[in-house]
């Protein structure tokens, strides 16, 4: 079982947390996982990209045209990271507009929940609903509970379910 | 321990490895991509089997020297820094090669090929070759952790400092890593006098140098640190691949994807310096062609000097930037005559980073630029480098350089007859402590007439908020003595010193003008303004700060001043309406954009 995923957004949007949740699910299942993340200057509102490789890999980095799934938190990054996905790869995009890809106004849903940052988990929920991940919703919930600060667990799970039931 | 397997970032894995290996003194100065290493040790300090001293030192030289002396007492110690931090620590680092250590000492230096968050992409392995210090190049977070304990043992066996060189892709990758119990060494500090060694004068150095060379040779033969061979099936006779660090991992995945694994001899070099001469000889005899992949400089390649080498020296492998899986693919395809990878579409640039919404640096830069539109603005390393976006940063060089560069600009201009431009230097509080103080003293005694603005946000913001000396807090939130900035500035001989919150832009601009008058007055010299406002990323700062609902009225004339010149990322143009708009998801309601609008279109209401 192998899957290569990218998470693309801008600093401050919760790309790192989403990356960790997905990787934690793999660890909980006993599956090897590698991620790479953007830290440093770019985190100040610049474009950031995480890669996640689930299964037997040595390197965390993904070659052009190899990723199976792209979670796009910042729509404007599409042309920047488009080429990392395989031609028949799946994009899940946070966007108020319709496109050829699966898009959902995750930002709006998150805003209605009171915090724009929650869009990351709305998007994760949508990805699960679309069957785009090799994990189950329960497995993701466990990881969210493990990683979210205690007082935000409920809010995070609500966001996740909003995406799941969107 | 609950979980034997944990998902850890490379830097966390290294921190965990240090605790498991019985390291008792760890000193660091923060810098991307190395910062989270000491943070990880701090977070796990309760797990340590024995007492542990942790410190965010004032700079890397100090961190190195603290760790060094601790090692003289027989304890295990580590100094942690980013690659350019090693330049700051170069002096003690170079001498340590000759003098050696007692307890195991590691220097962890994180390189940044790319570079992603650095002022250059220098290769610490080459630095080690010149310093004659063994260096280890791990290929994954898990491997970086695994190698720490044996590295301490190697350090103790030869009484030598050992460098562990992770790169950004190791530091900031996460992996499932197995956790072990920390060992107990039961060492009491015991500094054994050996003055000819610890204080070695030139008379003693030839012997020490000789010993160093002998040790390096022995280390190169250490069985546990030899290049690791994965044999091929001889379908590619007399051909081999040699790689180290993360590039080795990229290569492993690539070979698998291309169905070439176990088809060609593949060597992973764990310790790029010193290389075993027999390894080199073996490569010369067994192979006609070898492809060498390493980041960033050709360190292995130079040592091997193989006539059939394909690598950076003959230009087959790019000499700059990361050797990403794509770049690795191209090099491998060319080397093995495979179908070349599909042309990669031209790289598009994403969103550029900018100062956070509500950052007080933005207000300070806006005022500086407004007061001195023709000024020269030397700046420095930190979040405030992003003042570039506002046109208020003209030079960025290395930690602390801005004050001396400001002084240098002044000296060059003042010797010409006539006026000199107003030179406004901006330096962060952490950078000021790191390397700004000697530069300030120098500017004062050389009678430079410059304005130094210390952007004091009470933290090392760029790297995620490490403590700074004037806050009275040490690593792990431990209270300590505070060393205030003002008395230091005064003691440096500065006679114009003012403190102001840059959010109060009128007051700040008045002070800037006063400072300019001062530096141009007969008795003038260096003027220092401390622009003080907490970092907006600190939740405690947000909590006490007023927050408004900020919106833009229809009388906006679309002059773009707030969007482009002030550059708050929460502001943008609504192209359809031709009005500026506030993105309420990103706006923190600081209200600092209000005074920049020439027609008062930006308004605030109480939330
Ligand atoms: S109030 Fe103005 S300056 Fe402050 S965050 Fe909002 S848009 Fe930016
Ligand atoms: S500064 Fe004022 S007038 Fe100019 S674009 Fe911004 S809101 Fe509109």
Q: Is the pLDDT of residue B252 over 70?
A: yes
Residue with tokens 């299964």: A55
Read off the pLDDT of each residue in B481-493 and give the average, rounded to a whole number: 96
Per-residue burial over B99-137, b if 16 or more Cβ lie within 10 Å, else e, is bbbbbbbbbbbbbbbbbbbbbebbbbbbbbbebbbbbbb
Cβ proximity of B5 and B17 under 8 Å? no
Predicted complex: ipTM over 0.85: yes
B175: DSSP letter: E
Q: What is the domain count for chain B?
A: 4
Cβ proximity of B89 and B63 under 8 Å? yes
The distance of A131 to chain B (nearest Cα, Å) reads 24
The per-residue pLDDT for B3 is 56
Query: How many CB atoms are closer than 10 A to CB B273?
Result: 27
Higher pLDDT, B236 or A44: B236
Same domain, B126 and B29: yes
Q: Is the pLDDT of residue B1 over 50?
A: no
The β-bridge partners of B509 are none
Same domain, B428 and B461: yes
Cβ proximity of B182 and B126 under 8 Å? no
Same domain, B214 and B234: no
B139 CB under 6 A from ligand 1? Answer: no
Q: Do the domain assignments include residue B351? A: no
pLDDT digits (tens, 9 = 90+) for A62-95: 999 999 999 999 999 999 999 999 999 999 999 9
Burial (CB count within 10 angstroms: exposed 0-12, middle 13-18, buried 19+), residue B366: buried
Q: Which residues line ligand 2 (CB under 6 A)?
A: B 552, 556-563, 580, 596-597, 599, 601-602
Q: Where a domain ends, among B523, B541, B559? A: B541
Q: Which ligand is nearest to the CA of B584?
A: 1
- Strands B173-178 and B5-9, how do they pair? antiparallel
Same domain, B389 and B537: yes
Same domain, B175 and B107: yes
In CATH, what number is assigned to the domain containing residue B260?
3.40.50.920
pLDDT digits (tens, 9 = 90+) for A120-144: 999 999 999 999 999 999 999 999 9
Read off the pLDDT of each residue in B544-566 and give the average, rounded to a whole number: 95
Q: Is the pLDDT of residue B231 over 90?
A: yes
Domain that holds residue B411: 360-541
**Residue B158, Cα to own-chain centre: how many angstroms?**
29
B593 CB under 6 A from ligand 1? Answer: yes
Q: Is the pLDDT of residue B437 over 80?
A: yes
Q: Whose alpha carbon is nearest atom 2 of ligand 1? A: B593
Q: Do the domain assignments include residue B204? A: yes
DSSP string, B243-255: E-THHHHHHHHHH
Q: Where a domain ends, among B526, B541, B556? A: B541
Same domain, B452 and B518: yes
Range in B219-228, B393-402, B475-484, B515-524 with the lowest mean pLDDT: B475-484
Omega within 30 of 0 (cis) for the link into B296:
yes
Residue with tokens 């403190």: B499
- CA nearest to B245 within chain A: A59
Going by pLDDT thresholds of 50, 70 and 90, the confidence category of residue B2 is low
Read off the pLDDT of each residue in B36-51 and give the average, rounded to a whole number: 96
Read off the pLDDT of each residue in A26-46 and give the average, rounded to a whole number: 90
Q: Do the domain assignments include residue B150? A: yes
CA distance A52 to B7: 12
pLDDT digits (tens, 9 = 90+) for B101-129: 999 999 999 999 999 889 999 999 999 99
Tokens representing B361 are 């640096």
Q: Is the pLDDT of residue B306 over 50?
A: yes
Every domain of chain A and the residues it spans:
3-165
Q: Is the pLDDT of residue B186 over 70?
A: yes
CATH architecture of A3-165: 3-Layer(aba) Sandwich (3.40)
CA distance B112 to B120: 8
What residues contact residue B159 under an 8 Å CB cut-off, 6+ apart?
B100, B101, B102
Mutation probe of ligand 1 site: the residue of B365, B582, B601 with most atoms within 8 A of C-beta: B582
Q: Is the pLDDT of residue B29 over 90?
A: yes
């Amino acid at each position: 079982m192998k899957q290569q995923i990218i998470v693309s957004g801008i600093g401050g949007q919760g790309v790192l947390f989403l990356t960790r949740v997905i990787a934690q699910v793999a660890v909980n299942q006993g599956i090897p996982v590698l991620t790479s993340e953007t830290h440093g200057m770019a985190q100040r509102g610049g474009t950031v990209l995480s890669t996640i490789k689930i299964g037997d890999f040595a390197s965390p980095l993904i070659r052009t045209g190899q990723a199976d799934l792209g979670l796009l938190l910042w729509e404007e990054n599409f042309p920047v990271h488009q080429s990392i996905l395989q031609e028949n790869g799946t994009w899940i995009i946070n966007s108020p507009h319709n496109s050829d890809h699966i898009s959902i106004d995750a930002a709006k849903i998150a805003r209605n929940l009171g915090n724009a940052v929650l869009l990351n988990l709305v998007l994760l929920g949508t990805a699960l609903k679309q069957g785009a991940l090799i994990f189950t919703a329960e497995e993701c919930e466990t990881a969210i509970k493990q990683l979210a600060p205690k007082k935000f667990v409920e809010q995070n799970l609500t966001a996740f379910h909003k995406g799941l039931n969107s | 321990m609950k979980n034997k397997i944990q998902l850890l970032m490379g830097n966390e894995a290294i921190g965990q490895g240090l605790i498991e290996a019985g390291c008792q003194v760890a000193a660091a100065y923060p810098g991307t991509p190395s910062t989270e290493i000491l943070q990880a040790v701090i977070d796990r300090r309760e797990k340590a089997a024995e007492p542990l001293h942790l410190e965010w030192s004032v700079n890397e030289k100090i961190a190195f020297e603290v760790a060094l002396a601790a090692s003289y007492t027989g304890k295990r110690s580590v100094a942690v820094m980013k690659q350019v931090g090693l330049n700051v620590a170069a002096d003690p680092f170079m001498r340590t090669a000759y003098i050696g250590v007692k307890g195991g000492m590691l220097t962890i230096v994180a390189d940044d090929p790319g570079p992603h968050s650095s002022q250059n992409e220098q290769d610490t392995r080459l630095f080690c070759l010149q310093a004659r210090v063994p260096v280890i190049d791990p290929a994954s977070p898990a491997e970086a952790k695994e190698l720490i304990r044996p590295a301490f043992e190697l350090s103790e066996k030869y009484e030598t400092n050992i460098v562990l060189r992770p790169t950004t892709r190791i530091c900031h990758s996460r992996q499932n890593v197995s956790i072990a119990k920390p060992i107990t060494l039961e060492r009491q500090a015991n500094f054994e006098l050996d003055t000819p060694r610890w204080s070695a004068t030139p008379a003693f150095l030839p012997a020490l140098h000789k010993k160093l060379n002998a040790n390096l040779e022995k280390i190169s033969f250490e069985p546990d640190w030899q290049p690791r061979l994965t044999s091929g099936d001889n379908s590619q006779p007399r051909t081999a691949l040699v790689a180290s660090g993360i590039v080795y991992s990229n290569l492993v995945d690539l070979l698998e994807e291309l169905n070439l694994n176990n088809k060609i001899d593949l060597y992973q070099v764990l310790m790029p310096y010193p290389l075993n001469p027999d390894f080199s000889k073996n490569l010369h005899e067994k192979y006609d062609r070898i492809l060498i992949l390493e980041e960033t400089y050709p360190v292995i390649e130079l040592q091997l000097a193989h006539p059939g080498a394909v690598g950076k020296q003959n230009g087959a492998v790019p000499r700059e930037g990361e050797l990403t899986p794509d770049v690795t693919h191209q090099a491998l395809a060319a080397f093995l005559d495979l179908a070349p990878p599909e042309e990669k579409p031209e790289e598009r640039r994403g969103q550029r980073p900018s100062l956070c919404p509500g950052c007080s640096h933005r207000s300070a830069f806006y005022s500086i630029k407004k007061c001195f539109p023709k000024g020269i603005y030397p700046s420095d390393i930190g979040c405030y480098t992003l003042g570039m976006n506002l046109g208020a940063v003209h030079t960025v060089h290395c930690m602390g350089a801005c004050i001396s560069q400001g002084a240098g600009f002044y000296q060059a201009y003042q010797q010409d007859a006539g006026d000199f431009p107003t030179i406004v230097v901006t330096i962060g509080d952490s950078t000021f402590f790191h390397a700004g103080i000697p530069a300030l003293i120098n500017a004062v005694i050389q009678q430079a007439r410059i304005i130094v603005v210390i952007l004091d946000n009470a933290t090392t913001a760029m790297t995620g908020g490490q403590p700074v000396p004037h806050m009275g807090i040490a690593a792990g939130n431990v209270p300590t003595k505070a060393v205030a900035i003002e008395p230091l500035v005064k003691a440096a001989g500065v006679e114009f010193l003012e403190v102001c919150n840059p959010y109060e832009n009128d007051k700040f601009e008045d002070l800037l003008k006063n400072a300019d008058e001062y530096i141009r007055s007969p008795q003038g010299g260096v003027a220092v303004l401390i622009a003080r406002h907490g970092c907006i990323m600190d939740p405690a700062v947000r909590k006490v700060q007023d927050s408004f609902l900020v919106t833009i009225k229809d009388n906006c004339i679309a002059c773009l001043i707030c969007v482009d010149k002030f550059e708050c990322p929460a502001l943008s143009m609504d192209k359809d309406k031709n009005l500026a708009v506030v993105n309420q998801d990103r706006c923190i309601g600081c209200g600092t954009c209000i005074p920049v609008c020439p027609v008062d279109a930006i308004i605030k209401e109480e939330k």
